[in-house]
Structure 1
Amino acid sequence: MMRINHSLTGSMVALITPMFDNGSVDFASLEALVEFHIESGTKAIISMGTTGESATLNQKEHIEVMRKTIGFSNKRIAIIAGTGANSTSEAIELTQAAKEIGADACLLVTPYYNKPTQEGLFQHYKLIAETVDIDQILYNVPGRTAVDLLPETIVRLSSISNIIGVKDATGDLTVAKTLIDNCPEDFLLYSGDDATAIEFILMGGHGGISVTANVAPKALSQAYEAAYNDDKTGAQGYDKPLANLHKNLFIESNPIPVKWAMHKMGKCESGIRLPLTKLSQQARVVLERDLSNLGVM
């Protein structure tokens, strides 16, 4: 049986977790954001990924945000739960919780900080997949985790039936080509780098998990759909106006800029949790210019 789930192709948003200025989660704004993405054509929401500040919420809060997001969606859009951790046992607990509350799949970042070997990474993901019967997507972002899940390890893991894909956030299109050439045809390949996502999908990728999609979900959905259907001109046409945003949403550490952008768009308050801080004044000038040029502020 082919693993490709076409509801999990195209533009998928790495959703922010909206917060009040005191740092508590703003569930009313979260519900409004779910509606915003359903209306804009986003294909799936990633709840509690890096952009959702998974690193600053405790486990109880983490599960509650996922639960609320699943409830707000009411099965109208796929919800992928971020359940990665640097402890294999904790990742299993979060993944099991995600299954119990009805997530469609889980996204599991590589175990950060402790720098496992490639064999350690393989055994980590293998055990989670064997323990929890839910579709699982690998997530490689070495710039944040200090560990690189190499293509040969991803290929090994792709033979496990409920490991259905990978989010590659290296921004290295030679890695994308290696994955496209060597992974099974039914293994989902996602870009995690907004600046190179269109090229990744045109090469044979299935979609992208995007920070920019928080701000411009409709345009990005159109761009990714065009790329997925091999319409290079259309994809580049939709994506070109977003080029500065792709870059400037990382002018400071993600999700600092995107949370400020969403605040300026009137989608949420400006709350963010330490050790993250609000966007600096000099960066605000740059980002607010981009938002103004797009007509979203």
Structure 2
Amino acid sequence: MFSGSIPALVTPFRNGAFAEEDFRALVEWQIGEGSAALVPCGTTGEAATMPKDEHFHIVRVCADQAKGRVKILAGAGSNDTKVAIDNVQAAKDAGADAALMVPPYYNRPSQEGIFRHFAAVAEASDLPIVLYNVPGRTVTDIQPATMARIVKAFPETFVGVKDATGNLSRVSEQRAGCGAGFVQLSGNDETALAFNAMGGVGCISVTANVAPKLCAAFQAAWAAGDTAMALALHDKLYPLHIAMFTDASPGPVKYAVGRVRPGFPQELRLPMTEAGEASRKAVDEALAVAGLL
């Protein structure tokens, strides 16, 4: 259902409010540049700062602008199982094709608790779900055996994973446990090449906000078996991948989008803040390497 370059979209704000026209323009640009699908209201989209109504309004705007040209994978996770169930229904009502869901964060459930959480969500909804394993943020790690248990119990619901563990061996473990048809997407741009070599089929990307055409070309080269081109594009993009996290995200990526799309608002919501001077310098240098400045 998902493959290729999939940007985890930033959310533009003006004077604290969602900037709908800027967002629609961003979605249109992303589709025109070759992005394979779109993720509104993920971590990079500052979903943690959004009330529910605004969150799913933004998902609805994304789906409306895309008009079926690409799939919409809406952020919908929660550490409260009942809220997670409600979020999946809200994502479906907003026009999303699937939901992207972290395991419960902060609560620190056991592996059994993680399984039961996702089982309850699956039993209450028919929307496809991509698991999002990012223990560096959630402090909750979906272990490979638990992921396999979830997928085997609900194969029609759990169609893939965004793996941001940084552990490349997980790709092989998860393929063995979940089956070759289970979609594995890298959650880390800088290791996306190696992730694909291990059996991944794409990346849910921060860098694609800034360089969608290059990121799409990189994924297309790999899919076509042109490993030399994929490596060359990886090298061109690598400084940008690193620069995106030289300050708290999404500060650097919003700054970068503003550099390649003048006039795009760089406003963030507290507690997130603008990229510092050293980070902005790193972003500018990386944009130059990528040929984007």
Q: TM-score when scaled to structure 1?
A: 0.94
Alpha-carbon distance in 2 for matches of 1:185, 1:292: 39
Residue 14 of structure 1 corresponds to 8
Cα offset for 1:230? 3.3
Alpha-carbon distance in 2 for matches of 1:17, 1:151: 32
Does 1:281 find its partner at 2:285? no
Alpha-carbon distance in 1 for matches of 2:239, 2:103: 28
Q: Report the AA paired with residue 278 of structure 1.
A: E
Residue 124 of structure 1 corresponds to 117
Q: Report the AA paired with residue 116 of structure 1.
A: P
Does 1:174 find its partner at 2:174? no
1:133-282 map, 5 Å: 133-159=126-152, 160=154, 161-265=156-260, 266=262, 268-282=264-278
Cα offset for 1:282? 2.0
Please tell me whether the aligned partners of residues 57 and 94 of structure 2 are also in contact (alpha carbons under 8 angstroms): no
Q: Report the AA paired with residue 254 of structure 2.
A: K
Residue 290 of structure 1 corresponds to 286
1:40-67 superposed Cα distances (whole Å, 9 cap, x missing partner): 1110000111011010111111011101
Alpha-carbon distance in 1 for matches of 2:6, 2:282: 25
Q: Deviating runs (4+, > 4 A) in structure 1?
A: none
Alpha-carbon distance in 2 for matches of 1:55, 1:139: 15
Alpha-carbon distance in 1 for matches of 2:246, 2:283: 8
Q: Report the AA paired with residue 215 of structure 1.
A: V
Q: Give the percent of matched residue pairs that are identical in Structure 1 and Structure 2.
A: 41
Alpha-carbon distance in 2 for matches of 1:71, 1:286: 35
Residue 72 of structure 1 corresponds to 65
Q: 1:215 to 1:116 in 2, by over 3 A?
A: same
Task: Give structure 2 stretches of 5+ with no counterpart.
Answer: none
Q: Report the AA paired with residue 170 of structure 1.
A: T
Q: Report the AA paired with residue 55 of structure 2.
A: H
Cα offset for 1:125? 0.9
Per mean C-alpha deviation after superposition, the further-off stretch among 284-293 and 81-90 is 284-293
Please tell me whether the aligned partners of residues 165 and 190 of structure 1 are also in contact (alpha carbons under 8 angstroms): yes
Q: Report the AA paired with residue 275 of structure 2.
A: L
Alpha-carbon distance in 1 for matches of 2:53, 2:150: 29
Cα offset for 1:294? 2.5
Alpha-carbon distance in 1 for matches of 2:56, 2:3: 25
Q: TM-score when scaled to structure 2?
A: 0.96
Alpha-carbon distance in 2 for matches of 1:243, 1:288: 13
- What's the C-alpha RMSD, in Å, of the aligned pairs? 1.2
Q: Report the AA paired with residue 286 of structure 1.
A: A
Cα offset for 1:267? 5.7
Residue 97 of structure 1 corresponds to 90
Does 1:84 find its partner at 2:80? no
Q: Report the AA paired with residue 24 of structure 1.
A: A
Q: Secondary structure at the match of 2:282?
A: helix
Q: Report the AA paired with residue 275 of structure 1.
A: P
